[in-house]
Structure 1
Amino acid sequence: MTDQYGRKIKYLRLSVTDLCSCRCVYCMGAEGVPKLPHEAVLSFEEIEEIVCAAVSLGVRKVRLTGGEPLVRRGIDELVRRLRAIEGIRELAMTTNGARLAEYAERLKSAGLDRLNISLDTLDPEKYRKITRIGSLSDTLAGLDAARSAGFTRIKLNAVLMGGVNDDEIPALAELARDGTFDVRFIELMPIGECADWDRKRFIPAERVLEVLPKVQRVPSDGVAELWRPEGWKGTVGLIRPLSHRFCADCDRIRITPDGMLKPCLHSAREIPLRGKHGEALVCAIAEGIGGKPKEHHITDGRTSDSLRGMNRIGG
């Protein structure tokens, strides 16, 4: 299905929980978040029904997010159920990697195709400060487990923060040299916990190209601009929602853990899906796609209009 601006919407990012095993400073407060009541979170049956409806409208890629999706009990069973839906070409997950040592083989066996793993620093102490309660060693063990399980072209996501991890750009990018990983640098967005941060924290991803050796642009079919330093097998990607707004190419919708469809990450508009079935559910999703805004406005010096932080939407 195409939206009113001619964009073909084929990508669904679906949050399966608002809970997380970390409390990253740009995502949630030090005390964490109020836990949604169990009955407020979409059941596996509801998720399966929603995904089937979205696929009937042309969605072909589904990404499971959180919070942290691996804290959701039975997540591998959900992967297995979604993998069985005809029409899904790619089933992916974004995770902080802390529980991958336990889950990687189970996820691969269940049919998960791709993994994106959050990794903002390679410094153990800095990792602890950014995540507040996380351990770098757990995430690194998760990377090893993912490779051993047979996952390939794993993407590592690093949120760029001026004065925090911009000094590690070369070291993080280096993980892409042999092609085991592809590294993505993501511009920090003024949403939720970091909406009022000092503007010095919000640095353009162009900084990455300034510190890497000779790089060449390579083709991409997503929102990330891909670059490859000379002699490297992997790619370094730039995701630039602020400095180079990519709304014209946005092909995604999002669904929150409590069943609200967000046509745009930075819009306040949410469409309830719970309680809808059959044609009514398909029509509600179609309404969201049809009403997807042309662009967001955070590049105009405004903070996000979203009523939720990232942990309540899905990264």
Structure 2
Amino acid sequence: MAQKIQNKFQLQDNFQRKFYYLRLSVTDVCNFKCQYCLPDGYQPSGKSHSFLALEEIQRVVRAFAHCGTTKVRLTGGEPSLRKDFSDIIHTVAQTKGIVKVATTTNGYRMKKQVKDWKQAGLTHINVSMDSLDPRRFYQITGENKFFEVMAGIERAFEVGFEQVKVNVVLLKGLNSDVLPDFLFWIKDRPIQLRFIELMQTGEMDRLFHQHHVSGVSIRNQLIADGWLQKKRLPSDGPAQVYSHPDYLGEVGLIMPYEKDFCASCNRLRISAKGKLHLCLFGEQGVDLRDLLQQDSQLPFLIDRIHQQLQTKAVSHYLHDGNSGMTPNLASIGG
């Protein structure tokens, strides 16, 4: 007889941080060659293990939902490369307790598919758009897809998304001095720009030292111009979000090198091959896949997640130049 599921409180670690937010990678494959992630393109690891099947995704999301998770973000790699991506969205959206289903995409398939995603149950969408200059976009991403991505963003609004979040990885010498251009773009558009500091990973040490720039200068400029910080909700990501009465859009800043960045951590990660990662810049991960094969394993799956959460460290070690076991951001969903 299967063990009875215990009535457990919200996922909580030893530092009283509660976890409402799951980032679930569905593939580590990506078709872009971004300088800060996969400059040489996707390179298969050589291992034959397949990515999580739909039934496995369903079981892991059920486990997290049972523990109080309300938001799931589907990531990659590029998640839309999965032929069953709409089915995955639908499966997650139908899980009791999940109220927000988001994805982060490079946007190249949005124009054709975003309507299907919304009908399947997608509620929030983030698009990577590191430059508003087509030539610079190509230089950063390695793909000449600027106009396709822009058309995809517009299509998202057409099919009913009230807001689109646009991720911009700050790169010194490439896009760190174009805040006025981005602000002009969002003045009359319900877009939340999210400036993300470049983060060091195992394969990107040299690029990091060449192009890392702090988001503090952008924050100071926003405050000087009358932008006000919004209150952070329990299931929100790590961005400090600012709004302005003269702008329809918003600006978010993600600054992982700032003091106490990890104090508000509320998210856990599952890799595309079924490993639990307690931190983007942590250990190799704990395999959950052996407990994703039958519905009857749910109590044991929940127990393993709870047990591993008690080993979560108080912070990453990026300040010490230690990016853990993460080779690149695509490997466990960024």
TM-score between the two structures when normalised by the length of structure 2: 0.89
Alignment of 1:219-234 (within 5 A): 219-221=231-233, 222=236, 223-234=238-249
Q: 2:329 corresponds to which residue?
A: 310
**Paired residues, number:** 314
Do structure 1's residue 97 and structure 2's residue 97 form an aligned pair?
no
**Counterpart residue identity of residue 164, structure 1:** L
Q: 1:76 corresponds to which residue?
A: 86
State the SS of the aligned residue for 1:248.
Answer: helix
Instruction: Give how far 1:226 is off.
Output: 1.5
CA distance in 1, matches of 2:67, 2:148: 39
Contact 2:201–2:329 (CA<8 Å) still a contact in 1?
yes
Do structure 1's residue 285 and structure 2's residue 297 form an aligned pair?
no
Contact 1:18–1:35 (CA<8 Å) still a contact in 2?
no
**Counterpart residue identity of residue 315, structure 2:** E
Alignment of 1:1-315 (within 5 A): 1-34=11-44, 39-197=49-207, 199-212=209-222, 213-221=225-233, 222=236, 223-276=238-291, 277-300=297-320, 302-315=321-334
Instruction: Give how far 1:44 is off.
Output: 0.9
State the SS of the aligned residue for 1:130.
Answer: helix
Instruction: Give how far 1:37 is off.
Output: 5.8
CA distance in 1, matches of 2:83, 2:127: 19
Segments of 4+ moved more than 4 angstroms:
35-39
Change (3 A) 1:36 1:288: farther
Instruction: Give how far 1:24 is off.
Output: 0.6
Q: Percent identity?
A: 33
CA distance in 1, matches of 2:127, 2:207: 25
The unaligned stretches of length 5 or more in structure 1 are none
Instruction: Give how far 1:23 is off.
Output: 1.2
The unaligned stretches of length 5 or more in structure 2 are 1-10, 292-296
Q: Deviations over 1:132-169 (max 9, x none)?
A: 12410110011011111111121111000111111222
Contact 1:243–1:299 (CA<8 Å) still a contact in 2?
no
**Counterpart residue identity of residue 91, structure 1:** V
State the SS of the aligned residue for 2:300.
Answer: helix
Q: Which moved more, 1:128-137 or 1:139-148?
A: 128-137
Instruction: Give how far 1:219 is off.
Output: 1.9
Change (3 A) 1:94 1:29: same
CA distance in 2, matches of 1:14, 1:241: 20
Instruction: Give how far 1:201 is off.
Output: 1.2
Change (3 A) 1:214 1:307: closer
Q: Deviations over 1:56-86 (max 9, x none)?
A: 1111110000000111111001111111110
What is the alpha-carbon root mean square deviation over aligned residues?
1.7
State the SS of the aligned residue for 1:267.
Answer: coil
CA distance in 2, matches of 1:36, 1:17: 15
TM-score between the two structures when normalised by the length of structure 1: 0.94
**Counterpart residue identity of residue 90, structure 1:** K
CA distance in 2, matches of 1:308, 1:245: 24
Contact 1:263–1:269 (CA<8 Å) still a contact in 2?
no
Contact 1:224–1:237 (CA<8 Å) still a contact in 2?
yes
Change (3 A) 1:133 1:57: same
Instruction: Give how far 1:233 is off.
Output: 2.5
CA distance in 1, matches of 2:229, 2:173: 27
Instruction: Give how far 1:108 is off.
Output: 0.6
